[in-house]
């Protein structure tokens, strides 16, 4: 296992309940993150996120072809923490990585979200995913304000 990781923190003008629903509900996820989503909200539940190159949403993920990642939910603590594995199905030898979302209420209708993505085996993987996470965290913050 590698020690290469991404860690990002963002403050979102919404309650932890709103933010958690946005990151854990398949119907909410497609409004700001993947083009298609499956997230079974329980430990052991399946995750599958698909990004389409011809999507109307500008994404950093699907520049030249459709992409999909799959995994399993490892932790599910409502309004506080979500952890799942993440593996690209279309990238040979991509390691199984782990995405952790931690939420903390820091005021009325304000949440600090810390995203940690661990298990990378190359600095290029970290660079690509770091850019993607920056983009999508901003999308999440905008979506939750609505």
Share of the chain above pLDDT 70, in %: 91
Q: H or E element: which one contains 132? A: helix 123-145
Domain range for 24: 4-145
Q: Give residue 98's pLDDT band: very low, low, confident or very high (50, 70, 90).
A: very high
pLDDT digit string (tens) for 128-137?
Answer: 899 989 999 9
Q: How far apart are CA 73 and CA 83, in angstroms?
A: 6
Which tens digit of pLDDT belongs to each residue from 27-78? 999 999 999 999 999 999 999 999 887 766 555 555 666 888 999 999 999 9
List b or e across 55-81, with b for residues whose CB sees 16 or more CB atoms inside 10 angstroms: eeeebebbeeeebbbbbbbbebeebeb
How many structural domains comprise the chain?
Answer: 1
Domain containing 41 — which CATH number? 3.30.530.20
Distance from CA of residue 113 to its chain's centroid?
Answer: 11
Query: What is residue 2's predicted lDDT score, i.e. its pLDDT?
Result: 62
């Amino acid at each position: 296992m590698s020690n290469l990781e991404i860690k990002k923190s963002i403050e979102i003008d919404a309650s932890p309940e709103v933010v958690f629903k946005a990151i854990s509900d398949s119907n909410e996820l497609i409004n700001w993150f993947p083009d298609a989503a499956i997230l079974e909200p329980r430990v052991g539940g399946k995750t599958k996120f698909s990004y389409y190159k011809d999507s109307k949403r500008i994404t950093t993920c699907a520049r030249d072809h459709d992409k999909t990642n799959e995994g399993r939910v490892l932790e599910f603590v409502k309004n506080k923490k979500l952890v799942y594995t993440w593996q690209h199905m279309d990238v040979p030898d991509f390691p199984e990585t782990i995405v952790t979302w931690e939420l903390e209420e820091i005021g009325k209708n304000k949440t600090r979200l810390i995203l940690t993505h661990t298990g990378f085996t190359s600095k290029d993987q970290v660079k690509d995913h770091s850019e993607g996470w920056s983009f999508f965290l901003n999308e999440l913050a905008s979506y939750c304000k609505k």
